[in-house]
Amino acid sequence: MAEERQQGHKWTMIVDLDKCTGCQACVVACHAENNVPSPSEDEIIRGRANHWIRIERYWEGEYPNVKARFLPVFCQQCGNAPCEPVCPVYASYHSVEENLNVQVYNRCVGTRYCGNNCPYRVRIFNFWAPHFDPPLEQQLNPDVTVRGPGVMEKCTFCIQRIRRAREQANVEGRPLEDGEVQPACVQSCPTDALIFGDKWDENSRVAKMIPHERQFKLLEHLGTEPAVYYLKGGETHVGE
Amino acid sequence: MLESKAVTGPYWEQPDPEDERLAYQLEHGREEHLLLDARPPAELNQVVLNTMQQTGPRFWVIIAGLGAMTLAFLIAWFIQIISGLGITGLNRSVMWGPYIANLIYFIGIGHAGTFISAALRLMRMDFRRPIARAAETITLFGLAIAGLFPIIHVGSVWKLFYMIPIPNQRELWPNFRSALFWDMTAITTYLIGSTLFMFVALIPDFAMARDHTTGWRRKLYGALALGWRGAEDEWHRLEVVSNILSFVIIPVMFSVHTGVSWNLSMAIQPGWHSAIFGPFFVVGALYSGVAAVIIVMIIIRKTLRFGYFLREEHFNAMGIFLLLLTLAWIYFYFAEWITNWYGNLPMEKAIQQMLTGPLAPLFYLMLFCNIVVPLATLWSRRVRTSLPAMLVIGIFVQIGMYVERVLIVAGSLSRNELPFNWVNYTPHWPEVTVTIGTLAFLGLLYALFTRVVPIIPVWEVYEGQAMQQVRRIGRAIAPTRTEVH
Amino acid sequence: MAELMLLGLFDNVETTADVLDEVRVLGVKDEQITVMSNVPYAAKIFGRKPARLWFLPFTLGGAGVGALLAFFITFVTPQLYRLHVGFQELTPVPPTAIVFFELISLCTMLGAFIGFLLQNRFPILTRRMYDERITEGYIGVEVRAPLGVAEQVVKVFEAHHARVIQREDAANFKPQGIRHLLFWGAVATGGAVVLAIPLLLTYDVVDIPWINTMADTVAVGAQEGPRLAAPAESVPIQGPVLIAGEPATKPLPATATSLERGKALFAINCAMCHGMAGDRQGAEVGKYFPEIPASLGERAAALSDQELFLVITKGKNRMPGLAENLDPGETWDVVNYVRSLSQ
């Protein structure tokens, strides 16, 4: 009954598929911000691409009339997350303050049950100990743990940035402002296809955009109540 | 022994009927039925005890072979812990693979033991008598090895104690809402319950071994027999405690495999999320378990020369049991399949297409092993009483049921809601080594166990023989069972 | 020799039943007779009453213990540490049924087993009348009778062709009594010790350095800022926690070793400006505005420990933050040393 309390913030992302060019800048930014090791080519062939955000590319039509459709998929921060109750050690639980789906790496024993139960397949298992080719280890973000082998990890909506901003606001004795927090992917998106904010703040940009005619949620029929809203792309060009 | 004439001498020294035809029939009945063929317990005790004490070089060669394979499994596991699960073939979509299939498989073969000894005991089926202990031993070691697989499977094995509910400084308890926790409690309950059940039935046999061995064995069995004398009230309490344990352990047995299946069906993964999984897995477990018991019966009959105890009638009965379970398994599999097929939901369709597409060789192998082979053969009494045939059928069923579990676990996972994440799975060397190595480990534990523990519950056989009578009906005789409570 | 113990071995149940009838006629009570066999013969076969059984309290007691354990796991532990998962309540009903079922079953079986052992007074630690031929299929009859009656019983045994007759003074067979209690006491103590050993580990009474692949993460190093406060739902960690705007905790007591370390670190990091005694007798006097305090000890006395910690890590005015040079433990050593200056 996690989402009924209306306590804290309800962090929400909007992905405008009409604006997404599939440039993968968000993927690179996420790797840099969250200390995600780069997988080798071999690992990707073995189906172990470990991006916290991935651009799913689907082809439409037959050659030569083909179109590429891009779908950025990352943790949907479900309100009714299927991954949470299945964890036997509470490594996956729902945070009260941010209303996010949180993964505690130090608790995780690596049963990988959460990964099976995630219909979006956004949970990444650390099959190996993390490795960063020099000099990449020099750019590791000190605010984010480098996760050891054998644990699950996933997109956190850059919770370290959310917490920094909130503490700053606490010190200054003011509420968080809209736009003060930007996850790395949002910050790096050149076309402004990703919009981030607090849905429960009525004046935020996301709260105003959610009742959008193009809005849909990924795999909505599963009832997971994702905190990520997609705006339909394709031939609509409504946002232009 | 005929009818209710007063007898003199012990039950195994009864005179044959005077009528020649009846005497001939009785002679024939003795060849066929273990319980009519009473022999002096002094002699049979020695038959069982000699198999434990006389160990030839061939035995040690087999032990060395199994030990080497077990060592290979331990080394593979060690390498996997050191280098990470990356060396397996698992990937981001197929996060559960053969390790979980092995867990299901080993728990499955552990199911027949309790069913044979507990359920058939309560139903007073006499054919269980010489088989019960051999079957319970599979349960014991099958479960113990199944319990290894979650440990082998997890990524951070050094943190696995977080799953144990004990007070701790972290102030954190395990999440009882997780199906893994249910499964863990169910397996623990079943393992402890089966051990108690087996131990209680072993006490009189330990007393027998204590009385007829010397040296360290006498001391060991003396301690394990707890001072058993076979007094009336001791027997009475043993019967009652066995009945209580039987009644409790049968639902626990159902809950264990249901719990394992719920690990899968509680997930919203297409191909797993099915209410039929509980009973379906229980039937599958009994199916592979009974086949495993048949294989073990053949092996111990051959290697320990137990031709007297394990007779055609026992293989016949087990064959009929296996045939019934084949039909039950087919029913459940078909019910599951046609529901998915008719519903035609995209995800379930994708999984069925994969089974009949890229995975078709495995899928049809499974259908052949689990449906065609048993149905085509087991209807015939000649097949059921032929040891080589039963061995082959048993192995076919093992292969079929193992493939079925791999297809359910790894097969279903390779298809999920977003087609971008469809990844096929191929096993790598650690999975193969661990699977073969743990099977060898089961064999190793079993072989060593038969050196220490009487693998035939002799008192149950004697009980059957002492309570058996033949009754004359017209020109024939028929065995009847005497029951006094 | 007031009483004799007699043991006779017989071939079959018919003879045994006849023997028992005749022994009873001699005035021997049923409690003085024990029949032993290698097969469970019902008491009725010998014309005797079955023994009274006491399984109900053991099984019910076991079930009760199981229910209590299940109640603790399902209703109490989620309250001890409240974490929300998915759409589920802290204690949703359907999963509790499973935990209750398993634990009640487990403890019922354990209770029945313990009941079986205790009712039979197992394990038997004293010598009792026995013959090894009982496990060869012969039926043993043990009779305890006064001397005169015993002679008649022996005659009955002989009349029914007993294979063996053993006789011994009944005084040689003592009840188990205190030895049995001691045995079970030892088992219970041993069990309690075995159960308590994990607690020593989980409460860090015995501290085994354990694998923690994330403690020495590669990202931690020179660039690490003050650690953020742990969220309310997380497992408590040890060590100093620094929260901007909120006081940090004080983890290190001012022991002699801490002061010694603090002095050495102070000499390296601070004395060049503040002077070794905090009296500004360093090389950098007069170069800064505002001026370095003349008496560091006095100045520090006005500040809380947490404030001192923040000043050292974050810096103040022209003083640079020393977070790069001092880890939190070392910073606390320096704080302790600075405190000692004003005493």
C218-251 pLDDT, tens digit each: 665 444 555 555 555 554 444 444 444 444 455 6
When pLDDT is cut at 50, 70 and 90, the band that residue C211 belongs to is confident
Judge whether B244 and B229 are in contact, CB under 8 Å.
no
Give B66-98 pLDDT, tens digit per residue. 999 999 999 999 999 999 999 999 999 999 999
Q: Closest Cα of chain B to A131: distance in Å?
A: 12
Tell how strand A228-231 and strand A11-16 pair up. Answer: parallel
Least reliable range by pLDDT among B27-36, B234-243, C91-100: B27-36
Q: Does A76 touch chain B (CB under 8 A)?
A: no
Q: Do B172 and C101 touch (CB under 8 A)?
A: no
pLDDT for B1: 38
% residues pLDDT > 70 (chain B) = 98
Summary mean pLDDT of chain B: 92
Strand partners of residue A153: A124
Task: Give the pLDDT band (50/70/90) at residue A140.
Answer: confident
Give the chain B residue whose CA is nearest to the CA of A151. Answer: B155
Single pTM value for the model: 0.87
C99 to chain B: which residues are within 8 Å by CB?
Answer: 176, 181-182, 185
C77 contacts in chain A (CB < 8 Å): none
What contacts B82, CB < 8 A, 6 or more positions away? none
Instruction: Enumerate residues 6+ apart whose C-beta is below 8 A from B106.
Output: B142, B143, B145, B146, B149, B438, B442
Contact C219 A141 (CB under 8 A): yes
Beta bridge partners of residue A15, listed in sequence order:
A194, A230
Q: What confidence tens digit (pLDDT) does each residue in C126-184 have?
A: 888 999 999 999 999 999 999 889 999 999 999 998 988 998 988 888 888 888 889 99
Q: Which two tokens stand for residue B243?
A: 């009945």
Report whether pLDDT(A238) > 70.
no
Contact B45, C135 (CB under 8 A): yes
Residue type, C120: N
pLDDT at C83: 87
The answer to whether C228 contacts A104, with C-beta atoms less than 8 Å apart, is: no
CATH of domain C256-341: 1.10.760.10
Q: Residue C86: list chain A partners with CB under 8 A.
A: 2, 80-85, 94
Contact B2, B456 (CB under 8 A): no
Confirm whether B1 is domain-assigned.
Answer: no
A46, A49, A87 member nearest B178 (Cβ): A87
What angle do helix axes B179-211 and B132-153 make, rounded to 10 degrees? 140
Q: What is residue C175's predicted lDDT score, i.e. its pLDDT?
A: 82
Residues in chain C with CB shorter than 8 Å from the CB of A140 are 218-219
Task: Inform me whether the C-beta atom of residue C239 falls under 8 Å from chain A C-beta atoms.
Answer: no
pLDDT higher than threshold 50 for residue A2 = no
Task: Answer whether C216 touches A (CB < 8 Å).
Answer: no
Tokens of C206: 């015995």
Q: Is C287 a residue whose pLDDT tops 90?
A: no
Kindly determine whether residue A93 and residue C225, on different chains, have CB atoms separated by under 8 Å: no
Mutation target to probe the C interface, by most C beta carbons within 10 A, among B237, B242, B467, B483 is B237
Subunits adjacent to chain A (3 or more Cβ pairs under 8 Å): B, C
SS3 content of chain A, % helix, strand, coil (to 5): 20, 15, 60
Q: What is the pLDDT of residue B239?
A: 93
A111 close to B (CB below 8 A): yes
Check CB contact of C137 with chain B, cutoff 8 Å.
yes
Q: What is the pLDDT of residue A145?
A: 84
Give the rounded distance of the alpha carbon of B350 from its chain centre. Answer: 34
What pLDDT score was predicted for residue C282? 66
Q: Provide the shortest C-alpha distance from residue A49 to chain B (in Å).
A: 7
Determine contact: B230 vs chain C, CB below 8 A. yes
B6 falls within a domain: no
Q: What CA–CA distance (Å, rounded) separates B153 from B334?
A: 30
What does the pLDDT look like over B377-410, one tens digit per residue?
999 999 999 999 999 999 999 999 999 999 999 9
Best of C218, C238, C310 to disrupt the A interface (most A CBs within 10 Å) is C218
Q: Are strands C3-10 and B468-473 parallel, antiparallel or unpaired?
A: unpaired
Q: Would residue A226 count as lying in a domain?
A: yes
Instruction: Give me the CATH number covering residue B448.
Output: 1.20.1630.10
Closest residue in A to B427 (Cα–Cα): A46
- Structure confidence at residue C225 (pLDDT): 52
Q: Check residue B5 and give its pLDDT.
A: 44
**Beta carbons within 8 Å of A90's beta carbon, 6+ residues apart:** A104, A107, B172, B174, B175, C81, C83, C85
Residue B19 is predicted with a pLDDT of 83
Q: Does C59 touch chain B (CB under 8 A)?
A: yes
∠ CA B173-B140-B232, nearest 5°, is 110
* Whole-number Å distance between alpha carbons of C148 and C159: 17
Nearest to B400 by CA among B364, B429, B433: B364
- Report yes or no: B394 and B298 within 8 Å, Cβ to Cβ: yes
Give the minimum alpha-carbon distance from A223 to chain B in angstroms, rounded to a whole number: 11
CATH code 1.10.760.10 region(s) in chain C: 256-341
Residue A161: what pLDDT? 92
**pLDDT tens figures, B422-463:** 999 999 999 999 999 999 999 999 999 999 999 999 999 999
**Which of C74, C83, C223, C238 is the best residue to mutate to test the A interface, defined by the most A CB atoms within 10 Å of its own CB?**
C83
> A121 in contact with B at a CB cutoff of 8 Å?
yes
- Residue C322 has a pLDDT of 85
Q: How far apart are CA C153 and CA A170, in angstroms?
A: 97
CA distance A186 to A192: 7
Beta pairing partners, A93:
A102
Peptide bond into C290 cis (omega under 30): yes
The CA distance from B161 to the nearest CA of chain A, in Å, is 9
Helix (H, G, I), strand (E, B) or coil at A214: coil
**Mean pLDDT lowest for which of B287-296, C178-187, C189-198, C286-295?**
C286-295
At B217-255, the pLDDT tens digits run: 999 999 999 999 999 999 999 999 999 999 999 999 999
Asked if B111 and B253 touch (Cβ cutoff 8 Å), the reply is yes
CB contact at 8 A, C227 and C242: yes
**Is C115's pLDDT higher than 90?**
yes
B439-444 contacts, C-beta under 8 A, 24 or more apart = B440/B65, B440/B66, B440/B69, B440/B70, B440/B73, B441/B66, B441/B69, B441/B70, B441/B73, B441/B145, B442/B106, B442/B141, B442/B142, B442/B145, B443/B66, B444/B63, B444/B66, B444/B67, B444/B70
C290 in contact with chain B, both atoms CB, cutoff 8 A: no
Interchain CB contacts (distance < 8 Å): B and C: 220
* Interface contact B459-C125, CB threshold 8 A: no
> What is the domain range of residue B404?
11-481
Residues 146-165 of chain B with CB under 8 A from chain C are 156, 158, 164-165
- The 3-class secondary structure across C244-262, one letter per residue, is CCECCCCCCCCCHHHHHHH
Task: Identify the pLDDT of residue B4.
Answer: 41
For Cα atoms A200, A204, A210, give the angle at the middle one, nearest 5 degrees.
75
**Domain count of chain B?**
1
Q: For residue B235, what pLDDT is reported?
A: 94
CB B105 within 8 A of CB B116: no
Contact criterion met (CB < 8 Å) for A57 and B420: yes
* Mean predicted confidence (pLDDT) in C106-129: 93
Query: Lowest-pLDDT range, A142-151, B338-347, B351-360, C191-200?
Result: A142-151
Q: Measured between beta carbons, which residues in chain C are less than 8 angstroms from residue A171? A: 244-245
Nearest CA in chain B to C51: B233
- As a whole number, mean pLDDT of residues A55-70 equals 87
HSE value, Cβ hemisphere, 13 Å, CA-based, for B229: 22
CB neighbours of residue C42 within 10 Å? 16
Q: Which of C30-44, C69-83, C88-102, C285-299 has the lowest mean pLDDT?
A: C285-299
The confidence band for A143, taking pLDDT boundaries of 50, 70 and 90, is confident
The C-alpha of B468 sits at a distance from chain A's nearest C-alpha, in angstroms, of 53
Cβ–Cβ contact B173 with C under 8 A = yes
Q: Is A67 on the interface with C (CB under 8 A)?
A: no
Chain B residue nearest residue C86, CA to CA: B177
C-alpha–C-alpha distance, residues C262 and C268, integer Å: 10
- A167 vs C214, C218, C244: nearest CB: C244
Least confident of B120-134, B352-366, C266-280: C266-280
pLDDT above 90 for C296: no
| Total count of domains within chain A | 1
Q: Is residue A236 part of a domain?
A: no
| Cα distance between residue B135 and residue A18, in whole Å | 64
Sequential DSSP letters for C19-66 = HHHHHHHTT--GGGEEEE-SS---GGGGT-PPPP--HHHHHHHHHHHH
Closest CA to B174 of A107, C87, C86: A107
Q: Please, what is the angle between helix B132-153 and helix B277-303, to 10°?
A: 120
**Nearest-angstrom CA–CA distance, B106 and B260:** 11
Judge whether B302 lies within some domain. Answer: yes
Contact: C202, B166; criterion CB under 8 Å: yes
CA distance C85 to chain A (A): 5
| The two three-digit tokens of residue B63, written as one number | 């032990």
Do residues A77 and A101 touch, judged by C-beta distance below 8 A?
Answer: yes
Residue A240: inside a domain, yes or no? no
Instruction: Decide if pLDDT at A1 tops 60.
Output: no
Residue C136, chain B, CB below 8 Å: the answer is yes
CATH number of domain containing A129: 3.30.70.20
- Contact residues, chain B, for C122 at CB < 8 Å: 226-228
Whether chain A has a CB inside 8 Å of the CB on C80: the answer is no
The end-to-end CA distance of chain A, in Å, is: 39
- Chain B touching partners, 3 or more CB pairs below 8 A: A, C
Q: Are B91 and B269 in contact (CB under 8 A)?
A: no
Q: Which one-letter amino acid corresponds to residue B236?
A: H
| Mean pLDDT confidence for A22-36 | 93
Residue B232 lies in a domain: yes
Domain extent, residue A179, equals: 2-231
So what's the pLDDT on residue A194?
A: 95
Do the chains contact at B230 and C135, CB–CB below 8 Å? yes
Q: Is the pLDDT of residue A240 over 60?
A: no
